[in-house]
Amino acid sequence: MTASLLTLADSRLPAGGHTHSGGVEQAIAAGLVRDPASLAAFLLRRLVTSGAVAAGLAAAACRGRNLPVLDAEADARTPSPALRAASRQQGRGLVRVGRRAWPSPLWDALPAAPHHPVALGVAAAAGGLTPRDAAAAAAYLSVSGPATAAQRLLAMDPLTVAAVTARLAPEIDAVAEDCLSRADGELSADTDPLLDLLAEVHATRGDRFFAS
């Protein structure tokens, strides 16, 4: 690991993540997230589904696999239009800051407004990180953003939320490890239809704080 990983996973990296709740805003509206325990359950289901997919894609992109192919595989794993848009919006934001932070010809191989995990893998490679680092960052970001969003929306104790996120570390590591131990090139496709539903209902709302 190099210090670049700390920058990449820092929630203050201005890549637009703070405007996305990862489904938490709608989960709260639906009564599914209301306290630390239900938040932990939500974060866990997100981590092992979209987090695992993101980790696999980020690691593969970092490893130098064909980026448009990975981007198409990301599309296939993200059939929800709202989640696709959220991922591409965050990918675009990451490319904007990543190009400035870690100038590299690697960025040029990305499609326009790539899926966030694909951009994340390129950022990791450009920052001198390993596929394992890229996977860890993707897995971590799949829970850190929603955790912060829940804290804001429910006015939860920030110390409690920090503790929930911190204690997910072994699960985050496991997700990152798993995508490296998979057979040659196999990318996780784990999905949670609940997240698709929440994202699509959220997208139709006029009264929301978060873009997704």
Which residues bind to another protein, rule: CB under 8 A?
12, 14-21, 32, 38, 41, 44-45, 48-49, 72-73, 75-77, 79-82, 89, 92-93, 96-97, 100, 149, 152-153, 188-194, 196-197, 200-201, 206-211
Q: Shortest distance, CB of residue 35 to another protein, whole angstroms?
A: 12
Q: Smallest distance from the beta carbon of 142 to another protein, in angstroms? A: 12
CB of 129 to another protein, least distance (A): 19
Q: Shortest gap between Cβ of 117 and another protein (angstroms)? A: 14
Tokens 């799949």 belong to residue: 142
Q: Which is nearer to another protein, 130 or 177 (CB)?
A: 177
Element (H, E) at 119: helix 116-126
DSSP string, 47-114: IIIIIHHHHHHHHHHHHT--HHHHHHHHHHT---HHHHHHHHHHHHHHHHHHHHHS--GGGGGSPSS-
CB atoms within 10 A of CB 177: 14
117 Cβ partners below 8 Å, 6+ apart?
53, 54, 55, 56, 57, 58, 61, 74, 87, 91, 138
Closer residue to another protein (CB): 76 or 159 = 76
User: Smallest gap, in angstroms, from Cβ of residue 185 to another protein?
Assistant: 13
Cβ-based nearer residue to another protein, 133 or 151:
151
CA distances from 22 to 33, 74, 132, 149, 177 (A): 12, 16, 23, 8, 22
When the beta carbons of 23 and 121 are compared against another protein, the nearer one is 23
| CA 62 to mean position of chain CA atoms | 15
Residue 1 or 189 with smaller CB distance to another protein: 189
